[in-house]
Amino acid sequence: MRTLRELDAARWRVALGLTAVMVVLYFGFVLLVAYGREVLAVQVVPGLTLGILLGALVIVISWVLTWVYVRWAAAHYDPGVRALDRERTP
């Protein structure tokens, strides 16, 4: 049985980890826009530059990350909360 403290630590680890991924993802994109103009000008297919593709990917990956968190919480966090709840009200 996990304690509240362990549940709390697990949630913050996942939450801060995913926030760090977001920070790297978005500010990486901004820095690439600022310093990597030539890289972003590469055309993946005619018309679709790497810049437009990566911009779209930042949006899509952001959403996928929210899905990852929701899945994690349903699989690991919610059962922990329910177990602590039962413990409290026998």
Partner 1 sequence: MIQGQAGTSIGEPNAVAMLFFFAFISITLGITWWAARRTRTTEQFYAAGRTVSAGQNGFALAGDYMSAASFLGIAGLVSTTGFDGLIYSTGWLVGWPVVLFLIAEPLRNLGRYTFSDVVAIRLRQTPVRLAAALGTLATVTLYLIAQMVGAGGLIRLMFGLSYETAIVLVGMVMIGYVLFGGMIATTWVQIVKAFLLMSGALLLALLVLLRFGLNPAALFAEAARQYGAGVLVPGKLVSNPLDAISLGIALMFGTAGLPHILMRFYTVPDARAARASVFVATGLIGLFYLLTFVLGFGAMVLVGPDTIRAVDPGGNMAAPLLAELLGGTPFLGFIAAVAFATILAVVAGLTLSGAAALSHDLWVSVVRAGHADPREQLLVARVATLALGVVAVALGITFKGQNVAFMVSLAFAIAASANFPALILSIFWRGYTTAGAVTSMVLGTVLTLVLIYLSPTLQVDILHHDSAWFPLKNPALITVPLSFAAGIVVSLLAPEPAAAVGYDALERRMHLGGDH
- Applying CB under 8 A, the residues found at the interface with partner 1 are 4, 7-8, 11-12, 14-16, 18-19, 22-23, 25-27, 29-31, 33-35, 37, 40-41, 43, 45-49, 51-52, 55-56, 58-60, 62-63, 65-67, 69-70, 73, 78, 81, 84-85, 88
Is 1 or 88 the residue whose CB approaches partner 1 more closely?
88
Cα–Cα distance list, 49 to 54, 58, 61 (Å): 9, 14, 18
Q: How far apart are CB 90 and partner 1 at their closest, in Å?
A: 14
Q: How far apart are CB 1 and partner 1 at their closest, in Å?
A: 14
Sequence-ordered alpha helix ranges (H) in the chain: 4-35, 37-41, 50-72, 78-88
User: Which residues on neighbouring strands pair with residue 43, listed in sequence order?
Assistant: 49
CA distance 27 to 33: 10
